[in-house]
Structure 1
C-alpha cells in the first residue's frame, strides 16, 4: 500500500480512466468491478488526484463497508473496503455523510460485533484521520464512541491472542496479521493522545495497555517493542500525557532499561 509516486504513474491515470468509464455507465454497470477498481486505487495512493473520483470511490466503498451480513465472504469484503478507506491520508471535499456512515458502522459493531478486528481498526483509522477536516469530531470520538475504552479492549484482546514466545518468522499467518493490527492500533492511539489531551482514567489506561504490549513483545518482536518505546518518548515530548502517568504505568522504567 501507499506506493511512492503512484499519483504520477501511467497506472494511476489508467485506474482513473477506468473508474470514470464505469461511473458513467447508465446500464449494465459492473458494481463488483467498480468496487475492485476503487479499492485498488485507494490502497495504492493516499492522495486521490481528482475530488470527484475520490468522492465517487468513497461512496462506492462505503456501500460495501456498510453491509451487515456476517458471512465470511461478506466480512472479507467489508474488511478490504474499510482498509482501503483507512489508507486515505488526505481527501478534500468529504461530506458529513461519510462521517455519519462510518460512525454508524462503528456503533453497529459495538452493539453486534459483526466486524473483523482489522475492519474495526480501519474504521477508527478513517474516522480519526478526518479530525484535520472536522474539528468538532472530538466529542464524537472521545465521548459518543468512547475511543479510549474501545482501543484498550481491542489491544488487550489482540495481545492475548498472540504467542509472543515465538519469533516473528515462527508465527502463523493469523498471528502475524494480529501483530500488524496491534501496530496499527498503537499508531492510532498515539494520534489520539496527541490530539485529545484531556487527562482521564480511560486515556491514562491506554498508556498502561501499551506497557503491557511492550512487556509481551520485547523478547521476540523488536519492531513492536521499539514502536512502544518510540510512542512513550514522543508522548512525553509533546506533553500528550502527564509524566506521573508514564511513571505509574511503568513506561519510564522501560525507557531507562531499553531506551
Structure 2
C-alpha cells in the first residue's frame, strides 16, 4: 500500500518569533543583537492579528524574567522592545496594556531610578529608550512618569543635527510623545516652549520627516483637551490649518493612488500612513476645537483633494475623510461657506453613491447631511438671510442634479438599524435630509 507523504507544515511567524525569543537566553550580547534584528524583520512581516497574539502578558512576563536573571542586557532589551513599540504606533496596532504587567512595573522603576542619577552618571540613551518603549506600549501614565518621559523625549526631539541618524531619533521621540493621549494631563510648563520651538524650526527649515512633523502637531493638539488656551496657540499663533493643508497636499502628490496597497513601495506605504494619521488627528481637532480661522477654508480644500485622490483604491482613508467632514459639519465654529464652497458636500455625496458602502461610512454620510441641512434651515441672524437663501438654492440645485434625494431615500430602510448599531440620534425622518428652498 502506497503511503501518502504529508508535507510538513511550515512554522508560523509567531512560532519562529517565540522560538528566537527563547534562544536569546543562551546567546552572548552580539548574538542577541543579531537574533533581535531577525526578530524585528519578522515583526515587519506580521499583520495586526499576529502581533496581538504574540505581544501579550505571557511574552512580556517572559522578557521581564530574562531581565531579572540577567539573561539579556538592558541595551538589547530596549533594542527589541522599542522596535515593537515603534511598529505598534506606526501601524496603529493595539496591544494589551503593559503597564500592569511585571515588565511594565519594572520599566517604570528603571525610568525613575535612572532619572535620579547625577548628570555624569545618567545613561541618557538608556533613559530615552526606556521612555520611548514605555510610552509606546502604555495607555495611561502616572504624573511622575509622564513628567520624566515628556522632558526626556522633548530633549531628544530638540536635536537639530542634520544627519539621518539624528532625524530618525527625533522621529521616534516625537512618535512616542504623540501616543500621550488627550486624557493624560501634561503641565504646560513641561512642553509648550519646547514643542513650539520644534514646530517653528520645522516651518523655517523643513528638517523633520513627515511622520515626525505630524507627531509634533498631534502631541500639541492633544493638550487642548485639558487646556483650551492651547487652541489659540495652535490655530492662530502656529497656523495649524495652513500647515496641515500644505502637508496633506504634498502627501497626496507623493503617492501614486492608482496603485493598490500591495503594489505600493515602502516609501508610498509610509506616506499613506502619515495621511491616515493626519486625517484622524484633524477629525479630533474639529470635534473639539472652538476657534475659527479663515485658514480652515484651504484645509477643507486639501481634505477634499485627498478624499478624491484615494477613493478608487484606498476606501479606508476615504471613509476617514467622510468622518472628518461629518465632525466639522456638526461644529458651529466651522462656517457654512467653508464646507459648501470647498466641495465637502460633493465629496460625501460621491462617497455614498459608490457601489459598495459599509455601515460606518453610510452612518457618517447621513449624519453629515443631517448636520449641513439642519444648519441651512436655521436662521440665527436676519442680516445673513439673503446669503443663506442663496446657499440653500445652490446646494438644492446641486443635489437635485446629482440625484441626492434618491440616494438618501435608498438608505431609509436601514436607518433604524444604523441608529441602534451606533447608539446615536440619527434622524429617522427622511425629510430632515432635504433642503427646503
TM-score class normalised by the smaller sequence: over 0.9
Q: Which whole-Å deviations, capped at 9, do the CAs of 1:4-60 have from their partners, x for residues lacking one? A: 333322221121122123223335322111100100001111311x21111111111
Aligned to 1:252, the other structure's residue is in SS state: helix
Structure 1 range deviating more: 65-74 or 191-200: 191-200
- How far apart, CA to CA, are the structure 1 residues paired with 2:332 and 2:260? 34
State whether residues 150 and 177 of structure 2, in contact with CA within 8 Å, keep that contact through their aligned partners in structure 1. Answer: yes
Answer with 1 or 2: which has the greater Rg: 2
Partner of 2:264: 171
Would you say 1:25 and 2:117 are equivalent positions?
yes
Structure 1 range deviating more: 135-144 or 165-174: 135-144
Partner of 1:147: 240
State whether residues 193 and 235 of structure 1, in contact with CA within 8 Å, keep that contact through their aligned partners in structure 2. Answer: yes
Would you say 1:9 and 2:74 are equivalent positions?
no
Aligned to 2:99, the other structure's residue is in SS state: helix
Would you say 1:52 and 2:141 are equivalent positions?
no
Partner of 1:127: 220
State whether residues 22 and 29 of structure 1, in contact with CA within 8 Å, keep that contact through their aligned partners in structure 2. Answer: yes
Superposed CA RMSD in Å reads: 1.8
TM-score (norm 2): 0.56
Partner of 2:405: none
Alignment equivalent of 1:101, drawn from 164, 189, 194: 194
Unaligned runs of 5+ in 1: none
State whether residues 39 and 61 of structure 1, in contact with CA within 8 Å, keep that contact through their aligned partners in structure 2. Answer: yes
Shift of 1:132: 1.9
Number of aligned residues: 258
Structure 1 range deviating more: 80-89 or 138-147: 138-147
- How far apart, CA to CA, are the structure 1 residues paired with 2:310 and 2:332? 25
Structure 1 range deviating more: 238-247 or 166-175: 238-247
Say which structure, 1 or 2, has more relative contact order (CA 8 Å, 6+ apart).
1
Partner of 2:313: 220
- How far apart, CA to CA, are the structure 1 residues paired with 2:110 and 2:163? 30
State whether residues 155 and 182 of structure 1, in contact with CA within 8 Å, keep that contact through their aligned partners in structure 2. Answer: yes
Partner of 2:178: 86
Q: Which whole-Å deviations, capped at 9, do the CAs of 1:165-197 have from their partners, x for residues lacking one? A: 110111111111111111111122223333444
Unaligned runs of 5+ in 2: 1-87, 89-93, 353-437
Shift of 1:65: 0.4
State whether residues 214 and 277 of structure 2, in contact with CA within 8 Å, keep that contact through their aligned partners in structure 1. Answer: yes
State whether residues 151 and 190 of structure 2, in contact with CA within 8 Å, keep that contact through their aligned partners in structure 1. Answer: no
Shift of 1:76: 0.1
Q: Which whole-Å deviations, capped at 9, do the CAs of 1:210-236 have from their partners, x for residues lacking one? A: 110011100111111111112122322
